[in-house]
Structure 1
Amino acid sequence: MGVLFITALIITADQISKSLVKSTMTLYDVIPVIPGFFQLNYITNKGMAFGINLPVGISFFSGISLIITCFLVWILWCERKNNLLMRISLALILGGAIGNLIDRILFGEVIDFFDFMVGDFHWYIFNIADSAVTVGIILMLFYSFLFKPKVQPTHSIV
């Protein structure tokens, strides 16, 4: 299960980066990196990805994250001998899910800090775990379209 190294790497990078942000910045601090394009912006998020915040609370999101994490571990186990691209995509999603789950359990919220903008367009603020989930989903979609099973035509005699 060498792809679990990817999961561990994502979790480690995510938690170290969040720890650095938390220890060197105060909440809502902004550090311009590339003016007008990229900045570090320390915020917290009690909801889900892309600012989705439902009134159900952090316990609900933690429970959903835990269920998804267990499901991803099971799928990764089932796919252990199949296509490497699918396993890598699952490992990325799993690493991101666990990274944000750790935040929800320890702090009751997720730390976000990557902030991109182009002109007046401002993307959602995110973290390494969010990036891993996004890249994993994109790879999974790519895999699904690239390696779509060929459907055999059926012939009927009428």
Structure 2
Amino acid sequence: MKALYVSLIIVIVDQITKLLVKGFAISFLGLNFEGMYLGQMIPVWGDFFRLTFVENPGMAFGYDPGESFKLIISIFSLIASIGLVIYLYVIRDKSLSLRIAIACILGGAVGNLIDRTFYGVFFDYAPLFYGKVVDFFDFDFFNFTLFGRSYDRWPVFNIADAAVTIGVLILILFYKKHNEIEEVSENKVEVSGISGINISEKVSELSSDNPQIIKKDQINEQTDIRKEISD
């Protein structure tokens, strides 16, 4: 279950970066960090990469399914996260690549689940399970349309989103490699099977062409049996 450390690191880094962007205040500790204001943009690498503070009320790509589905999304994310933890335990002895992939997806799911579940209450703007996900990575991208919306930049995302994407990519590469290994193994079995058939055919041909060889072998076998009995 060491892969859970990967998930834990992702959640910690994700939440720290989100709190630095959004800002936070802990009165009993005397902490008050302003962060960025909603909609603020900070260029990092010209217009190609910038930090843009947005809050996602719904699903990926900023898709908002409406208030009635927010609770369903949050509960589904919770159930999925529990399922991933159980699956990590099941595959604890499996390939490291597979475990890392699931751990990345789990870390990303939990990171965004914390936003949806607690941020509304923590920042006092919504009840439990109705919080908004904090996004801030903003990259330039070619124009495209998705869910009826047009984009001229890649939708703003966060560490948790990136972790889920990386986990899925590792899974794809893992299963591709796994299938290639299976194909090679099957080919080896086929080749060995063909070789065995060819050897049997050659022996049969030699036997039919040289019956004396078989006869000599049979005599030797009978002699060995007699020696074993006498001993």
User: Secondary structure of the equivalent of 1:82?
Assistant: coil
User: Secondary structure of the equivalent of 1:147?
Assistant: helix
Distance 1:43 1:70 in 2: 28
Flag the structure with more relative contact order, 1 or 2, with Cα contacts below 8 A and sequence separation at least 6: 1
Which of residues 92, 96, 114 in structure 1 aligns to 2:108?
96
Counterpart of 1:11? 11
Distance 2:165 2:136 in 1: 16
* Change beyond 3 A, Cα 1:119–1:87: closer
Q: Percent same amino acid among aligned pairs?
A: 42
Whether the aligned pair in 2 keeps the contact of 1:46 and 1:57 (CA below 8 Å) is no
Which of residues 155, 159, 166 in structure 2 aligns to 1:128?
159
Paired residue type of 1:71: G
**Does residue 115 of the first structure (1) align with residue 138 of the second (2)?**
yes
Gaps spanning 5+ residues in structure 2: where?
24-34, 120-130, 144-151, 188-231
Q: How far does residue 57 in structure 1 lie from its aligned partner after superposition?
A: 3.1
Which of residues 49, 53, 65 in structure 2 aligns to 1:42?
53
Counterpart of 1:156? none
User: Secondary structure of the equivalent of 2:39?
Assistant: coil
Counterpart of 1:53? 64
Distance 1:117 1:132 in 2: 20
User: Secondary structure of the equivalent of 2:182?
Assistant: coil
Distance 1:52 1:74 in 2: 29
Tell me the number of residue pairs that the alignment of Structure 1 and Structure 2 aligns: 153
Distance 1:143 1:133 in 2: 15
More helix by share: 2
Q: How far does residue 63 in structure 1 lie from its aligned partner after superposition?
A: 0.8
Distance 1:139 1:78 in 2: 19
Whether the aligned pair in 2 keeps the contact of 1:115 and 1:123 (CA below 8 Å) is yes
User: Greater Rg, structure 1 or structure 2?
Assistant: 2
**Does residue 150 of the first structure (1) align with residue 182 of the second (2)?**
yes
Paired residue type of 2:110: I
Question: What RMSD over aligned residues (CA atoms) do the two structures have, in Å?
Answer: 1.7
Structure 1 residues 71-127: Cα deviation after superposition (integer angstroms, max 9, x where no partner): 111111111000000000000000000000000011211000000004764001000
Distance 1:86 1:110 in 2: 27
User: Secondary structure of the equivalent of 2:101?
Assistant: helix
**So what's the TM-score if we normalise by structure 1?**
0.91
Distance 1:118 1:140 in 2: 25
Distance 2:14 2:141 in 1: 25
